[in-house]
Structure 1
Amino acid sequence: MHELLATGPLVGGALIGLSASLLLLFNGRVAGVSDVLGGLLFRRPGETAWRAAFMAGLLLGGLALAAAHPGAFPAGGGGGSLGLVVVAGLLVGYGARLGNGCTSGHGVCGLSRLSVRSLCATMTFMVTAAIAVHVSLHAIGAAR
């Protein structure tokens, strides 16, 4: 298990980059999850099959990891009430729509295509995250 924890993020990141590159190379599609899901929910004609397969692959990959290494996920789903999780998910979806993509879409797919919009978005995400960590650790003492 220790080896998985040591190499897991590196292998996972490489697989994400490879998958995004292959989707773009062979299908001409960008692997932005919020856009893929949005197109599936709002039924873009002729694109349902690949979008459904993409989303199923994400779900099945997580389930396969949970089956192979149950300790990789926190017991009880990580905490938080169902209502809080739903509200958080809706806020993330709204933010992805507002930002024309999610953080991973801009960071992985946008930056690799040298998108100026994605560079600005990713810098904004990183600065906002740094401020949020600073405030939570030093101003309100969340880690104490």
Structure 2
Amino acid sequence: MLAITGCASKKTPNNAADLGLNGAGAATPGSAQDFTVNIGDRIFFDTDSTAIRADAQTTLSRQAQWLNQYKQYAIVVEGHADERGTREYNLALGARRAAATRDFLVARGVSASRLKTISYGKERPVAVCDDISCWSQNRRAVTTLSGAGS
């Protein structure tokens, strides 16, 4: 017998703790794993929006504080969109989301010279289905680290 249950929720996980990955191993402070697990590497956007939501501001403020402490990393902000809309429109929307994220981090003291942006539009979904819960997970910006053994 197979039983599946679920509930509707607007909260989208933005780090490993929210995803239920606690206890997956202690992350070394200042490591890329520390950033992903303890800070959160992604934020989410409302439909057709580039506005940084309140929950995203909290995550990005933590990111900025961490990035200002660990300056050995270069950063790429990836902008993503859900599957609705044309490829061209979603690439442009992803670019605007990545830029908004970058600008927020720069305003919090992260050096612009460390930051690059890229848009994947709807080309790299994390959830694939024709449902609002999937679409909301794909409307995101992901902060990735490079350098210093990441």
Q: Same fold (TM over 0.5)?
A: no
**Which structure shows the higher strand fraction?**
2
Q: Which has the larger radius of gyration?
A: 1
| Highest RCO, 1 vs 2 (Cα 8 Å, sep ≥ 6) | 2
TM-score normalised by structure 1 residue count: 0.29
**Which structure shows the higher helix fraction?**
1
